[in-house]
Amino acid sequence: MLSVVKIGGSILGKGVNSSIVDDVKKIADEQSLSLVHGGGDEVTKIAERLGKKQTFVVSPEGIRSRYTDRETMEIFAMVMAGKINKEIVSTLQRFAVRAIGLSGIDGGIIRAERKKKLVSVGNDGRRRIIDGGYTGRITAINEGLLQAILSEGYVPVVAPVALGSEYEFLNVDGDRAAAYVAGGLKSSRVIFLTNVHGLIIDEKLVPNLTLREAKELIPRIGYGMDKKVLAAVEALQMGVGEAIICSGTAENPISSAISHDHCTVITL
Ligand SMILES: Nc1ncnc2c1ncn2[C@@H]1O[C@H](COP(=O)(O)OP(=O)(O)OP(=O)(O)O)[C@@H](O)[C@H]1O
Ligand SMILES: [Mg+2]
């Protein structure tokens, strides 16, 4: 049994919190576990400390993403694959989890194609076509390499930086990277740990959704959660058994997610 868990940047302080670490240790002993992480807010913070203001674009589907020019891509790679990834890996090892940090660049774990153009919708509702910058659409996962790492008893920790077709770095969304890793590994489940219990609609936690219901709801969901539901849909379409969105700040958050305790579960 394999679970892919995405650790949201929203719940990362310095590395991962102790309840996640305990749970990773327990689950990695019993079954296989592969981690992917986010960290967009930290990238924004450090970029701005470096004097590089970050801008965001909204697609016609309402999905918000970072506008990634070359300098932003460099900072994104440094922070994601450097600082954040290594903090997680060192914390896990401190608690005796055999963790290995990788980005999508390493061994071509995440291959992507550069988006040539983006459609950006302004505050006035007008659409503009802009250069795609260094954002990528994921095309392939090197599942063989991940399987080899898993079979050695390691927990891979993957940063969402992909390798482009011209060997350039590309910014890919962490939730979608987790979905593709789960799809590539034919994982039983993908779990998104974040700072809320799951999808909230009309102030209530939605416990279950079918793939079709999830797809229909996406336009009504706010920034952050919309990408998780989209990634959940993509994971199910790639054959992952179930997608679970759960709080990563509660006790034993991965075990809770596996037992569907107080979270949003999306299935076919
Ligand atoms: N309908 C909704 N239900 C629940 N949360 C929502 C909803 N709409 C928007 N959100 C927001 O989505 C956020 C979670 O996504 P966000 O991208 O901020 O975190 P993350 O994915 O854990 O971090 P990162 O993107 O850095 O990995 C919540 O904190 C909440 O504010
Ligand atoms: Mg997010």
| C-alpha torsion angle, residues 253, 259, 262, 268 (rounded to 10) | 110
Pocket test for ligand 1, best of 192, 225, 226 (most atoms within 8 A of CB): 225
CATH of 2-40+86-111+140-164+172-267, one of 3.40.1160.10, 3.30.390.50, 3.40.50.720, 3.90.1150.10: 3.40.1160.10
**Across 54-63, average pLDDT:** 94
Is residue 159 predicted with pLDDT exceeding 80?
yes
What was the pLDDT predicted at 3?
Answer: 98
The 10s digit of each residue's pLDDT in 128-144 is 999 999 999 999 999 99
The 10s digit of each residue's pLDDT in 77-106 is 999 999 999 999 999 999 999 999 999 999
What was the pLDDT predicted at 15?
Answer: 78
User: Predicted confidence band at 263 (pLDDT cuts at 50, 70, 90)?
Assistant: very high
**Where do the domains of the chain lie?**
2-40+86-111+140-164+172-267
Distance of CA 4 from the midpoint of ligand 1 (Å): 19
Distance of CA 16 from the midpoint of ligand 1 (Å): 18
Residue ranges of alpha helices (H) inside the chain are 18-30, 40-49, 70-77, 85-94, 143-151, 174-184, 211-217, 225-237, 253-258
Cβ < 6 Å from ligand 1: which residues?
A: 8-10, 38-41, 174, 194-196, 199-200, 221-225
Residue type for position 111: R
Pocket test for ligand 1, best of 176, 195, 262 (most atoms within 8 A of CB): 195
Distance of CA 152 from the midpoint of ligand 2 (Å): 30
Helix H, strand E, coil C: the string for 16-37 is CCHHHHHHHHHHHHHCEEEEEE
pTM: 0.98
